[in-house]
Structure 1
Amino acid sequence: MTKLSGPMLPPRSGTARQLVVLLHGYGADGSDLIDLGRHWRTLLPDALFVAPNAPRRCGGSPFGYEWFPLEVDRIAGRIEGARQAAPVLAEFLSDLWAQSGLGAADTVLVGFSQGAMMALHVGTALPGELAGIVAFSGAFVPADGFAAPAAPRPPVTLIHGDADPVVDPALSRQAADLLAANGFEVTLHISPGVGHGIAPDGLAFATAFLMARLG
């Protein structure tokens, strides 16, 4: 199985007590999101920030990576793509926990776009309950067995620009409804006038969530 790797930022305190895993979007790489870790390091001095490159070289960008290819049928493509990429990400998390001595309860998954889809897909299907999931500009592809009675239900925050031309913001609204209907604690923030990106108001919303879960 492919092993993931990418940039990381050690905890400022010198001791890792929390883990924030940053999952980039289609055609990018780990360095694209590690700046979020730099933004949050001062607030979370005990957090280790890790931003792995996705497992595949991107078909649409020779210098980037993809969690799964973009298909003509985007819905079918992300359902099958997320399922195929999930074991690689789940193994990466298991290895990180084994190496750091941390666990799901100490971990927040943060994803953007395709990375947000992976954060939600894998983060709601792990055997242990995460401290939280932050999904910027994404969509939710439920894993098999989603919301089984004994399944963990980590808190989730969804953030999306209402002018996003790449991933329809309605997909975050649908995700919020589905998660809430299945017993998840969900918050949703829609950034007015924002396209496919992370605006200051969305970043502030995510920061408040992170501080509530890890601070």
Structure 2
Amino acid sequence: MSPTSLIVQQPQGPASQLVLLMHGVGSVPQSLLGAARWFANRDSAAMVVSIASPEPSDVSSHGLQWFSVRGVTEDNRQARVDGAMPAFVATVQHWQRVSGTDAQRTLIAGFSQGAIMALESTKLAAPAALRIVAIAGRFATLPNRQSGAAIHFLHGDADPVMPAALAQTAQARLLQLGTEVTLDLAHGVGHEPHPALLERLSARLAPA
């Protein structure tokens, strides 16, 4: 929806799937171009877009955000995510209309805050996307019921911003609820969309 979102690949015919990349707080769509091109190379018929978060960041002079992290705590994070969720869903639905796809054929790959938004969207009664890749992400609060989405966690075991334990705890809860979930850890990787994480994802996704 934002003019600063970057269309990385747009097939001439019907799109086989829609892949949306969601960047972290204080960052920009260009930060995920490497990951976006990785998805594009896997499927030449996919529409791949690196999305611009809608709000100017209050922690970076040139970056963007879905919600502010100033003063964020375990107690208020969920409310901030909930406030941003309508715009997040509207963004996904906009690109679904552009690409002619639906939730079944939409994959959201989010990093950090982008992963938080993507994960939290799976709590909705009708998730906007049924495939989620959460890179260095977490839930604001753990879900309490099964989701129809398939969720893939990718996390560095040396992440100092969002410890890998957050992803491990989320995976355990999702398995308990019966949600389809995987978790891959990359040794020595910190808080970044590292190529080693995408290498692990390759085995999790069905061949294009």
- The answer to whether the Cα contact below 8 Å between 2:93 and 2:128 also exists between their aligned partners in 1 is no
Q: CA deviation at 1:97?
A: 1.9
Could you say what secondary structure the match of 2:183 adopts?
A: strand
Partner amino acid, structure 2, of 1:164: D
Q: Deviations over 1:16-64 (max 9, x none)?
A: 1200011000111111113212122222111101121111101110110
Could you say what secondary structure the match of 2:204 adopts?
A: helix
Q: What is the match of residue 109 of structure 1?
A: 108
Q: What is the match of residue 74 of structure 2?
A: 75
Q: What is the match of residue 46 of structure 1?
A: 45
Q: What is the match of residue 166 of structure 2?
A: 171
> Which stretch has the larger CA shift, 63-72 or 126-135?
126-135
Q: What is the match of residue 202 of structure 2?
A: 207
Q: What is the match of residue 56 of structure 2?
A: 57
Q: Distance in 1 between matches of 2:130 and 2:72?
A: 33
Q: What is the match of residue 192 of structure 2?
A: 197
Q: Deviations over 1:56-103 (max 9, x none)?
A: 101110110011111334323421221111100111122222232210
Q: What is the match of residue 25 of structure 1?
A: 24
Q: What is the match of residue 94 of structure 1?
A: 93
Partner amino acid, structure 1, of 2:195: P
Could you say what secondary structure the match of 2:90 adopts?
A: helix
Partner amino acid, structure 1, of 2:124: A
Q: Deviations over 1:148-199 (max 9, x none)?
A: 6xxx421111011111111121111111112111111111111111111133
- The answer to whether the Cα contact below 8 Å between 2:116 and 2:139 also exists between their aligned partners in 1 is yes
Label 1:32 to 1:47 Cα distance change in 2 as closer, same or farther (>3 A).
same
Q: What is the match of residue 145 of structure 2?
A: 147
Partner amino acid, structure 2, of 1:65: L
> Which stretch has the larger CA shift, 16-25 or 121-130?
121-130
What's the TM-score once normalised by structure 1's chain length? 0.87
Label 1:38 to 1:126 Cα distance change in 2 as closer, same or farther (>3 A).
farther
1:127-146 paired onto structure 2 within 5 Å? 127=126, 130-142=129-141
Percent identity of the aligned residues?
31
Give unmatched runs, 5+ long, in structure 1: none
Q: CA deviation at 1:201?
A: 2.6
